[in-house]
Structure 1
Amino acid sequence: MNWLLVIAGAMAGAPLRYLTDRVVQSRHDAVFPWGTFVVNVAGCLVLGVLTGAVPDERWRLLLGTGLCGALTTYSTFSYETLRLAEDGARGYAALNAVASVVCGTGAAFTGVALGRTVWG
């Protein structure tokens, strides 16, 4: 039954990722992959809040594994970073790699603290 929760969350997370990426990227006329950056950092924040606030495993499966798992995308982040480097935008590639890790980790820590403070 747990797998159904993961599927349900992913059914919302995947289209949310695509739509958010398209909206964010359309507002930035830049080489930098802002859409992927935003969904990954937002997913880290949401997962952090869940980790800090939600003890129920079913909610973590639905929202953490399902929704956040489909919302965030390491493969697209890796591909876009590689593409930037191959296209000669090595500075943007390095910025994407460093900023994604730093901001994603910071968002996760912030989310845990927020989750514990508000709901914990």
Structure 2
Amino acid sequence: MQTWLLAGLGASLGALGRYHFTALYKRARPELGYQATLLINLSGAFLLGFMAASTVTQTWYTFLGTGLCGGWTTFSTLNSELGGQLASENFRRALRYGGATYGLGLGLCALGWVLGHRLF
């Protein structure tokens, strides 16, 4: 199968999953909807670290890593939500949100990398 088709199929599935997860989360906690993006991006960071260290083939990494995780995670929504928090002068929330995304994201990626090496 063509590489672009694998990446596109994975990205489509990841984006659909992100859409549905976000909709469910925002229904349950509408005032904290930005947390759905945080959970999505943190889980994606962990999975990418894990897959990068595992022994999946390049074909599977294209589908799962580039495609599925690429469609699941969202840098643009993160920045839009951070911008909205800054525009509404909610500086503490913006700082916590950005710090958690980048700080925890790097840590979870590293944890995924370590676990991926230990398990595979």
TM over 0.5: yes
- Structure 2 residue identity aligned to 1:74: F
| Structure 1 unpaired stretches of 5+ | none
* Distance in 1 between residues matched to 2:30 and 2:11, nearest whole Å: 29
Which residue of 1 is the match for residue 90 of structure 2?
A: 89
- Structure 2 residue identity aligned to 1:18: Y
Native 8 Å contact 1:32 1:96 kept in 2: no
**SS at structure 2 position matched to 1:30:** helix
**SS at structure 1 position matched to 2:65:** helix
- Structure 2 residue identity aligned to 1:86: A
* Distance in 1 between residues matched to 2:91 and 2:49, nearest whole Å: 30
Native 8 Å contact 1:32 1:92 kept in 2: no
Native 8 Å contact 2:22 2:33 kept in 1: no
Displacement after TM superposition at 1:20 (Å): 1.3
| Structure 2 unpaired stretches of 5+ | none
Q: How do 1:60-75 residues align onto structure 2 when only pairs under 5 Å count?
A: 60-75=61-76
2:34 paired with 1:38: no
Instruction: Give the TM-score taking structure 2 as reference length.
Output: 0.92
Identity of aligned residues (%): 29
Which residue of 2 is the match for residue 110 of structure 1?
A: 111
Displacement after TM superposition at 1:116 (Å): 1.2
- For residues 62-113 of structure 1, the C-alpha deviation after alignment (integer angstroms, 9 at most, x for no partner) is 0000001111000100010010010121111111111100111111111111
Instruction: Give the TM-score taking structure 1 as reference length.
Output: 0.92
Displacement after TM superposition at 1:27 (Å): 2.8
| Pairwise CA RMSD | 1.3
2:55 paired with 1:54: yes
